């Protein structure tokens, strides 16, 4: 049998990252030493909802439901003490999101807001910047930061499938089927992103660059797990998925142009070109075949879908502002230099 030249990014468990405060330090100690998290209630209550400490602690706890960590037993996924702490951190994060996004908006109105794409390519977002003036080092940093999600692309959204029924479930599965390669392992979107990283001279090992990612990045990944792991937040997860699919085609088109302009290579451009075509179809499916039948059957979820859309926009805007503030002044957006990530990841 011919060996697969591609080594799956998730063949191995990532190493535990360095702590960023007392809460994340307590979580890593609990995971490493197999005891309950030892942190005061006061310290947890004072943690910044969107801050480095709380978001890294949440990320670690969520990852127990995905790939886990090297040296951490799979049984810790359902450890009661860890789950109790996770619930408290989730409450802090969710409370902040609910306070910061518009209230009482309908899903229809929330979708209408993001369906409007400004004419031309003179916008001010990250993809506009990278398309028009981004340099290769900035594209590499962007890939590093987005790898926290794209190397497990669509996995968080799959949590919602058992919570849907009828047309909504059938359409959601159809979209996820495409995300997972439509039956072809080499076309799984996470694998296409790994190919992009290879072409950019980056390490596609799952979790490799966690230490380099700021809280703004962690928020955008954690919110998917927050919504996905709770039955009560299923509407918010659908809203998140809709926001991703609606905004993906124009942004991906610009990023594909940025990859070609900087000479990143065909595999780097192909990841985004695939999303231009696929997500244009997915956007229609999600709006008309997932959201419409879902809300027809469960109209009480309307406000939750809208919340998911707005929360996604809020966190993506915060990330975009952070990235552009760094790049427009020639600074790196990484927490640690790219060359230092190997040492942080326990690599030689």
C-alpha torsion sign, points 12, 346, 197, 311? positive
Mean pLDDT, rounded, of the chain: 92
- Low-confidence residues of the chain: pLDDT under 50: 1-3, 119-120, 346-348
Cα angle, residue 170 at apex, residues 167 and 172 outer, rounded to 5°: 105
The dihedrals phi and psi of 12, each to the nearest 5 degrees, come to: -125, 160
Res 4: pLDDT: 54
**What tokens were used for 293?**
């039948």
Res 61: pLDDT: 98
Res 339: pLDDT: 80
**What tokens were used for 150?**
């794209």
**What tokens were used for 61?**
């706890």
Among residues 72, 186, 149, the alpha carbon closest in space to that of 315 is found at 149
pLDDT in tens, 4-25: 555 555 667 899 999 999 999 9
Reported pTM? 0.93
């Amino acid at each position: 049998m011919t060996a697969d030249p591609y080594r799956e990014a998730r063949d191995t468990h990532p190493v535990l990252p360095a702590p960023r405060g007392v809460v994340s330090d307590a979580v890593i100690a609990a995971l490493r030493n197999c005891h309950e998290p030892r942190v005061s209630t006061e310290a947890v209550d004072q943690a910044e909802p969107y801050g480095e400490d709380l978001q890294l602690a949440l990320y670690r706890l969520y990852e127990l439901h995905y790939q886990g960590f090297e040296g951490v037993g799979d049984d810790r996924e359902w450890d009661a003490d860890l789950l109790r702490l996770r619930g408290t951190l989730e409450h802090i994060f969710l409370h902040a999101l609910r306070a910061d996004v518009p209230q009482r908006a309908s899903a229809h109105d929330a979708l209408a807001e993001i369906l409007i794409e400004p004419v031309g390519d003179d916008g001010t977002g990250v993809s506009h910047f990278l398309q028009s003036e981004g340099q290769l080092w900035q594209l590499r940093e962007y890939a590093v930061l987005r790898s926290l999600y794209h190397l497990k692309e669509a996995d968080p959204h799959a949590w919602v499938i058992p919570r849907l029924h009828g047309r909504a479930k059938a359409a959601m599965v159809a979209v996820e089927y495409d995300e997972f390669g439509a039956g072809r392992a080499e076309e799984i979107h996470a694998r296409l992103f790994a190919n992009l990283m290879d072409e950019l001279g980056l390490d596609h090992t799952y979790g490799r660059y966690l230490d380099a990612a700021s809280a703004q990045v962690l928020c955008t990944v954690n919110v998917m797990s927050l919504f996905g792991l709770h039955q009560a937040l299923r509407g918010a997860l659908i809203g998140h998925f809709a926001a991703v699919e609606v905004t993906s085609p124009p942004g991906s088109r610009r990023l594909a142009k940025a990859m070609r302009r900087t000479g990143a290579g065909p595999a780097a451009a192909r990841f985004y070109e695939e999303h231009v075509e696929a997500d244009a179809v997915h956007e229609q499916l999600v709006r008309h075949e997932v959201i419409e039948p879902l809300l027809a059957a469960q109209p009480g979820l309307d406000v939750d879908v809208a919340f998911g859309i707005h929360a996604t926009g809020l966190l993506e805007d915060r990330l975009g502002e952070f990235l552009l503030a760094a790049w427009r002044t020639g600074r790196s957006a990484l927490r640690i230099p790219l060359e230092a990530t190997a040492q942080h990841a326990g690599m030689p």
